[in-house]
Homo-oligomer: A and B are copies of this chain.
Amino acid sequence: MKQTQIVTPSNGMTPSRGPTPTKNRILDAAEALFMEHGFEATSLRQITALAEVNLAAVSYHFGSKEELFEAVLTRRLDPMNRERIALLTRFEREAAPEVLSCERVLTAMFIPALALARDRERGGQNFLRLLGRAYADPAPFIRRFLSEQYAVMILRFKAAFARSLPQLPKKELSWRLHFVMGALSYTLAGTDALKLIAALSPRDAGNDEMLLHRLAPFLVAGLKAPLPDLSEFDGGGVSARQAGGS
């Protein structure tokens, strides 16, 4: 039926006669519009109009609007997370037998995101905002998709962080990683939101590179923070113990 995968004849035989592969035109348009208006607020007609393809092409190539959305995310997310893991592995190998520092682990998370943000040619800047938005979206299919996409990477990095912060209980680390992801995705999502707080020079806003370099020390300090006093929670009912672990 569908699912044919365009051939992309990178060798010489067929001189790539097609104007542009429809599938990619749709993905590019969808990425731009999903980024700007979100999933629900973007219609397939807007997408196909911008992509200059037929409306039915979406159903044909992707099946549904939801599957299109997943394809838009996968296209960039999958390589980025793969890079993150590869980078972390390389860092660990280079540092061996020393344990990786917390900063270094965070760096392995940031560099691929940074590279994507810089890759203006292929949507970069905008895509990270789309991702940040997806993180806050409660739609079940988005949540399911994201946790599947991120599960491997998160577990890998959680283990690395645990090694570099041995004094931190497992549960506390989980929370702090959550905060890290929060600040990161919110920061990436909210170019507009910046104006809420800051009197920033126009040069600064939209400069994701500098942004992430400012974010990193903030997060590292947070990760290394002393443990919170949760005594008031132990006193009460079912005892929210703080995971003796270490």
**SS class, residues of chain A in contact with chain B:** helix
Known contacts A176-B218, A245-B104, A187 near B196 by CB under 8 Å: no
- Cα–Cα distance between A243 and B133 once the two chains are bound (Å): 27
Nearest B residue (CB) for A154: B197
**Interface check A174, CB cutoff 8 A:** yes
- Cα–Cα distance between A217 and B36 once the two chains are bound (Å): 34
A183 to chain B, nearest CB (A): 4
- Cα–Cα distance between A225 and B215 once the two chains are bound (Å): 10
Contacts of A179 in B (CB 8 A): 183, 186-187, 215, 218-219
| A:176-222 near B, CB below 8 Å | 176-187, 189-190, 192-201, 203-204, 207, 209-211, 213-222
- Cα–Cα distance between A182 and B95 once the two chains are bound (Å): 32
Contacts of A228 in B (CB 8 A): 213-214, 216-217
- Cα–Cα distance between A133 and B193 once the two chains are bound (Å): 12
**Interface check A121, CB cutoff 8 A:** no
**Interface check A70, CB cutoff 8 A:** no
**Interface check A55, CB cutoff 8 A:** no
Q: Is the CB of B133 within 8 A of A136?
A: yes
Known contacts A38-B40, A196-B150, A230-B210, A186 near B221 by CB under 8 Å: no
**Interface check A46, CB cutoff 8 A:** no
Contact size class for A?
35 or more
8 Å CB contact of A193 from B143, B214, B238: B143
- Cα–Cα distance between A184 and B217 once the two chains are bound (Å): 18
**Interface check A227, CB cutoff 8 A:** yes
Q: Is the CB of B196 within 8 A of A245?
A: no
**Interface check A147, CB cutoff 8 A:** yes
A residues whose Cβ falls under 8 Å from a Cβ of B: 36-38, 40-41, 95, 100-101, 103-104, 106-107, 110-111, 114-115, 118, 129, 132-133, 135-139, 143, 146-147, 150-151, 154, 158, 170-172, 174-187, 189-190, 192-201, 203-204, 207, 209-211, 213-230, 232-233, 238, 240, 242-243, 245-246
Across chains A and B, which 6 residue pairs bring their CB atoms closest together, nearest first? A182-B186, A221-B225, A174-B198, A40-B40, A136-B136, A218-B222
